[in-house]
Amino acid sequence: MKRKMVLNTLLGVTMVASLAACSAQTDQQKSKETASAAAGGAKTKLTYWTVDRHDADYMKDVIKKFNETNKDNIEVEMTILADNFNQSIDIGFASNQAPDILRTNDFPGFVKKGYLQPINDLMTDEMKKRYGNLMVEELNTMDGNIYSLPHTGQYWRLIYNVDLFKKAGIAEPPKTIKELVEDAKKITEAGKDIGAYGFAENFKNPGSAFGRIANPIGSLSGTSVVDGYNYKSGQFDFMAYKPIVEALRQMKQEGSMLPGVESLDIDPLRAQFAAGKIGMYFNHSGEPAVYQSQFPTKINWSAALPPTMDGNQQGTVSVIAGNYIGISKSTANKDKAWKFLQYIYNLDFQKEYHEKGFGISIVPDVNAVAQKPTTPGIEGFLPTKFDALYAPTPLNVTDTKVEGMKFGNAIIKYMLEGGDVDKLLTDLTTRYNVGLEKARAAGDTKTKANPSFDPNKLQGSLAK
């Protein structure tokens, strides 16, 4: 943990120093260097900026191998910018010091700002066929152009403490929201002697916390609603979340939630879970790596598909995924940058990345041949027929247009204080649809109704 923090700090200092010095190097100088490298057979140096630090040591080895084995005299240098990544990208482009290759962390924003190079003409027909069914508008493509290909995804699950379940006499994870509430109460009662509680979430960030709970439950229940947005109607519909909102209120009223949960951030939550003080919470497939390195724990824990509203799995759990790395539009070495992308976007790399537990693949041919990762706890996050890729929702752009209290704050306020839940959800639906129309009018989103959308038909799309 300390070593990673030091690494990140040093890289951050290096980044600041690099940007401070970059104004001294002109585009003319860069062109001369590139021409000189090509003429003299020297290595062409490419810069790669990424936000990912969980796989830093592994990626260093991958890049080292690429640098030593590629036959095109390419040398890739990776810089990790885990903090303020998007701002660093803005500064890099503004100062003519953008990287040649970058993690497409803010895909729509980077495309709109002209940071990314389309790769349609670089892809082979085989690559287009391999990724074709996985590419999503505003995640991989924009207006017919492909910028970044799929890699891994965030598989959402209910994470639970097996020891506390046994202590409370609970045989298996809850299958319904009603069982979730009942189990949280049982765990709290059984865990009084050790100060354990049945449920928690990172409600300090209310929108994020509610989404972690409502999205997997709602989408697996077949509501067609993610982030409050109904793909069928093309409108927001927070009323679909009524059973979930009421369940949160009940757990809070019954004292089944960790005290002070309204001010709980994600890392403090993980620390409490690792200490055996929390029975259940919702999060994604990045958690096994967290409990292996950041918050080592001796408790027995596992992950399961989320409960549904009525016990019927009529939909699919919406997987957050979409893109990985792309080529800078300002690079003078597009073709050589593509050589590195080809090295990354291939079965061998993706298979090993998956098997080592750095991320769970969303690419079917990877999942078909890869061995199961050995990271403790990752078993419950592996793809099932109930996981599927969903297109992005317009929540983020709508949020900026909405007047009044944002949905996360309003729902957590109800969880803590109570009130008229129907009035609350109707008001949210009305205000967010007004904001959505503003976002559409401003050209901030191209989302529209998809009457044929059926989450049930998506079953089996990621894991055959």
Record the pTM: 0.81
Please give the pLDDT value at position 444. 87
Q: How confident is the model at residue 329 (pLDDT cuts 50, 70, 90)?
A: very high
pLDDT (mean) for 279-301: 92
Give the DSSP per-residue string, 182-204: HHHHHHHHHTGGGT-EEE---TT
Q: How confident is the model at residue 321 (pLDDT cuts 50, 70, 90)?
A: confident
| Least confident residue range of 120-124, 220-224, 303-307, 459-463 | 459-463
Rounded Cα distance, 155 and 23, in Å: 42
pLDDT (mean) for 336-340: 98
| Tens digit of each residue's pLDDT (9 = 90 or more) over 161-183 | 999 999 999 999 999 999 999 99
| Tens digit of each residue's pLDDT (9 = 90 or more) over 71-91 | 999 999 999 997 789 999 999
| % of the chain surpassing 90 pLDDT | 75
Q: How confident is the model at residue 25 (pLDDT cuts 50, 70, 90)?
A: very low
Please give the pLDDT value at position 367. 87
Q: Over the chain, what is the mean pLDDT?
A: 90
pLDDT at 261 over 90: yes
pLDDT at 28 over 80: no
Q: How confident is the model at residue 157 (pLDDT cuts 50, 70, 90)?
A: very high
- Radius of gyration from C-alpha coordinates of the chain: 23
pLDDT (mean) for 156-161: 98
3 or 230, which is more confident: 230
Domains in the chain, ordered, with CATH? 2-149+323-361 (3.40.190.10), 157-319+391-458 (3.40.190.10)
Place of tokens 């009323």: 239
CA distances from 360 to 49, 205, 352, 354, 458 (A): 22, 25, 11, 5, 19
Please give the pLDDT value at position 230. 98
3-state secondary structure (DSSP) of residue 56: helix
Rounded Cα distance, 38 and 30, in Å: 12
Please give the pLDDT value at position 294. 84
Please give the pLDDT value at position 2. 37
pLDDT at 46 over 70: yes
Please give the pLDDT value at position 464. 53
Please give the pLDDT value at position 21. 41
| Least confident residue range of 6-20, 166-180, 232-246 | 6-20
pLDDT at 425 over 80: yes
pLDDT (mean) for 145-164: 96
Please give the pLDDT value at position 334. 97
Please give the pLDDT value at position 138. 85
Q: Which residues of 123-141 are buried (b: 16+ CB within 10 A; e: fewer)?
A: beeebeebbeebbbebbbb
Residue spans of alpha helices (H) in 23-116: 27-40, 56-69, 85-94, 107-112
The kind and range of the H/E element at 80 are: strand 74-80
pLDDT at 262 over 50: yes
**Count of beta carbons in the 10 Å neighbourhood of residue 159:** 25
Rounded Cα distance, 258 and 200, in Å: 6
pLDDT (mean) for 384-410: 93
| Least confident residue range of 45-59, 184-198, 207-221 | 45-59
